[in-house]
Structure 1
Amino acid sequence: MQTKNPIFDDLAELMTGAAGVVASAGEEVKAVARSKMDRLVADMDLVSREEFELVKDMAAKALAENQVLRQQIAALKPAQAKKPKARKSTKTSGVK
């Protein structure tokens, strides 16, 4: 046989309410912390992931183009070495 004790009922109700308050307070702390972090990041003027990826792709393309240009220059150097150098003009004007 179980007896109903109002003290235990009140205590259980109080604990349930306290758990709800603690959970709400925890969510509030998370929201405030997230807000402060967002503000801190905004003040630091950091780039977004999208901007970072865009610049990363641009740098990779520039590096590839640079490699192609180096190869083209290397291919042109032997051809230039075979050409005779242009002579400088030794003519002088009659004005002194």
Structure 2
Amino acid sequence: MQSQNPLIADFVKLANSAAGTFAGMSREARDGAREKLKEAMGGLDFVSREEFDAVKDMAAMAREKVDILEAKIAALEAKLADKA
């Protein structure tokens, strides 16, 4: 039968308590940092990915229309130059 040394048992309990305390402190620090970051970022205006993609698509369509209109204008200008 193995005998328990009370000094070692107390040391093990102390080490386990310290590990739990450090884990709790780490968790609280992480949560606190996350909360501070949310507060700091809250004042900034961000758009969602869906909004960004929608505006990007609208800009691409507008660019295509501009290219078509530029081609039509160039054709009309060429016709005017031929008549003159």
- Bin the TM-score by the shorter chain: 0.7 to 0.9
Alignment-derived partner of residue 91 in structure 1: none
Matched, 1:31 2:23: no
Aligned-residue identity in percent: 42
5 Å-filtered alignment, 1:1-96, equals 2-83=2-83
Q: Deviation string for 1:12-71 (max 9, x for gaps)?
A: 122112111211211111111111111211112232333222222222222222122212
Q: Normalising by the residue count of structure 2, what TM-score does the alignment of the two structures yield?
A: 0.77
Deviation at residue 72 of structure 1 after TM alignment: 2.0
CA distance in 2, matches of 1:25, 1:4: 31
Aligned-partner Cα distance in 2 for 1:54–1:27: 39
TM-score by length of structure 1 reads 0.70
Instruction: From the two aligned structures, give the one with the greater helix fraction.
Output: 2
Aligned residues: 84
Query: What are structure 1's unaligned runs of at least 5 residues?
Result: 85-96
Supply the AA of the counterpart residue of 1:10: D
4+ long deviations beyond 3 Å = none
CA distance in 2, matches of 1:47, 1:28: 30
Structure 2: runs of 5 or more not aligned: none
Coordinate RMSD, CA, aligned? 2.0
Q: C-alpha displacement at 1:75, in angstroms?
A: 2.1
Q: Which amino acid aligns with 2:50?
A: E
1:44 is paired with a residue whose SS is: coil
